[in-house]
Amino acid sequence: MAIVTLIAAGCLDDRLIDRALGSLREIDPKAAFAAWIDEGDAVDLKVSGDLKAIRWALDGMEGVDVFVQPEENRFKRLLVADMDSTIVGQECIDELADFAGLKREIAEITERAMQGKLDFKSALRERVAMLSGLDEESIQRCVKERVIPNPGAATLIRTMRVGGAYCMLVTGGFVSFADPIAKLLGFNSIRANRLLFDGGLLSGSVEDPIVDAQSKVEALVEMRSELGLSPDQVLAVGDGANDRLMVEEAGLGVAFRAKPALAEVADARLDHHGLDALLWAQGIRRRDWVVG
């Protein structure tokens, strides 16, 4: 048996539910309403059959985020999250580049890398080299003035932590950004790249080994093993091509406002709601959220 969760905050009504059930009954004639999570916001339906076929049947419901998963281990014990354009709304290196007057040039490289059109490591080294000579104060100002968590990020992390989950921030970005963001939101740990300095100025280099797509999935597998969890107890969320491997490895892999390279392999897409909607996906009612 599978659980289908429909999320349409403030807009979920009988019409949308009936439409979804009509599509599902082409796969499973016994598909049925299960329970409201929060009335008018999120609902569970029950269905049996191939999960991919169920997802395809509900693809394209306007304004609705859809999650399809087995009933077992619905609340995840490990969350692995990307940072840039996922937990925060910015690409941190692009914002930092603005302090050097190079935002347009560097943002173009970033976008191509996130689309999977460039080798991530080479693209990272190229961009960091362009920032050579920028001072540490600029990084601190950038974190303070430019980097803003996405809606629902703090509530997601804090609620999962209260429920006993381990939360890890895994990013191809930099420790200088990831560490304060992780502390602000309540992550247990981070995995990020480290910028190298020469006399208080960026040297134009990044410490090896670089955290890339392979490093991200390795971090997930290592932490999963350390915690003694099964794959279906893991939630991963990201937005770009370098999140693809970890999203595929997770029991529930979510593409958040994602590039096509990630969206095509994810178990679910979160296109219309904040990150706290991932709590509804895990069956957690709003009254139990720890609001950040």
DSSP for 27-89, please give it. Answer: T-TT-EEEEEEETTTEEEEEE-S-HHHHHHHTTT-TT-EEEEEESTT-S-SEEEE-TBTTTBS
Residues 288 and 207 in one domain: yes
Do 94 and 80 fall within a single domain? yes
Residue 180, pLDDT above cutoff 90: yes
- Mean pLDDT of all residues belonging to the chain: 96
Say yes or no: 79 and 66 in one domain: no
The structure's pTM equals: 0.96
Report the pLDDT averaged over residues 246-251. 98
Give per-residue pLDDT as tens, 38-85.
Answer: 999 999 999 999 999 999 999 989 999 999 999 999 999 999 999 999
Indicate if 222 and 188 belong to the same structural domain: yes
Domain boundary among 71, 95, 127: 71
* Pair 154, 51 in one domain: no
pLDDT the model gives residue 1: 87
- For residue range 196-243, list pLDDT tens digits in order: 999 999 999 999 999 999 999 999 999 999 999 999 999 999 999 999
| Co-location of 37 and 141 in the same domain | no
* Same-domain pairing of 188 and 232: yes
Which of the two residues, 1 and 42, has the higher pLDDT score?
42
Instruction: List active site positions.
Output: 82, 84
Contacts of 288 (CB under 8 A, 6+ apart): 159
Domain final position from 18, 41, 71: 71
3-state secondary structure of 166: strand
Write the CATH number for 95.
3.40.50.1000
User: What value does the mean pLDDT take over residues 102-121?
Assistant: 92
Q: Are 237 and 281 members of one domain?
A: yes
Find the mean pLDDT for residues 183-205. Answer: 96
What is the pLDDT, as a whole number, of residue 60? 84
Token pair belonging to 113: 């890398």
126-136 burial code (b ≥16 CB/10 A, e <16): ebbebbeebee
Residues 81 and 157 in one domain: yes
Instruction: Indicate whether 244 pLDDT > 90.
Output: yes
Identify the pLDDT of residue 56.
94
Mean pLDDT of 104-115: 93
- pLDDT greater than 90 at residue 292: no
CATH number of the domain bearing residue 39: 3.30.70.260
Which of these three, 71, 89, 111, is where a domain ends? 71
How many whole angstroms separate alpha carbon 246 and alpha carbon 222?
A: 12
Residues 171 and 277 in one domain: yes
**CA atoms within 13 A of residue 86's CA, in its CB half-sphere:** 32
Residue 137 scores a pLDDT above 90? yes
Do 44 and 171 lie in a common domain? no
pLDDT score, position 64: 97
Q: Tell me the residue range of the domain where 197 lies.
A: 75-292
Identify whether residues 52 and 95 lie together within a single domain. no
Domains in the chain, number: 2
